[in-house]
Amino acid sequence: MAMEYMHLGIPITNKKPNMTYNEDMKLWMSNPDDYDEKIEYLKFEEGTFFPEIMHRQCHVAYKVDDMTKYLKEADSILVEPITLNDTTRIAFIIKDNAIMELYEDKTWVV
């Protein structure tokens, strides 16, 4: 697997039903699996570390085996890799004027 599409992240200003709050990231988020279109709605709160551009522009999320290659090829890195747990990390980059989320899951590593 090189890149596998996961969801489209859409920033919003009003919460939608069933959104959950992430205290560490200071944002409300929906579950992409709740929508046939695989949409993740995001409502950023004051104090979030996510840059302002992400509050206004959509992003496309991809699952990757190893994000290192994509970080090197990025036009810029918006959010450096964040470790979510022992096997998973995410990062946000700009590539060809598009915001991309890189989702790396190493659960297959023994």
Q: pLDDT tens digits for 12-21?
A: 999 999 999 9
Output the domain CATH number for residue 26: 3.10.180.10
The answer to whether residue 8 is domain-embedded is yes
The answer to whether residue 36 is domain-embedded is yes
Give the contacts of 6 (CB within 8 A, at least 6 positions apart).
32, 38, 61, 62, 63, 101, 103
**Total domains present in the chain:** 1
pLDDT at position 2, please? 79
The answer to whether residue 84 is domain-embedded is yes
Instruction: Specify whether the CB–CB gap between 93 and 102 falls below 8 A.
Output: yes
Q: pLDDT tens digits for 36-89?
A: 999 999 999 999 999 999 999 999 999 999 999 999 999 999 999 999 898 899
pLDDT at position 106, please? 82
Q: Which residues of 38-48 are buried (b: 16+ CB within 10 A; e: fewer)?
A: ebbbbbbeeeb
The answer to whether residue 99 is domain-embedded is yes
Distances (CA, A) of 16 to 4, 11, 47, 94: 26, 11, 20, 27
Distances (CA, A) of 107 to 22, 65, 74, 101: 22, 10, 25, 19
The answer to whether residue 94 is domain-embedded is yes
Instruction: Specify whether the CB–CB gap between 16 and 38 falls below 8 A.
Output: no
pLDDT at position 1, please? 56
pLDDT at position 110, please? 46
The answer to whether residue 110 is domain-embedded is no
The answer to whether residue 28 is domain-embedded is yes
The answer to whether residue 12 is domain-embedded is yes
Domain that holds residue 45: 3-105
The radius of gyration computed from the CA coordinates of the chain, to the nearest angstrom, equals: 14
* Mean pLDDT, residues 85-96 taken together: 95
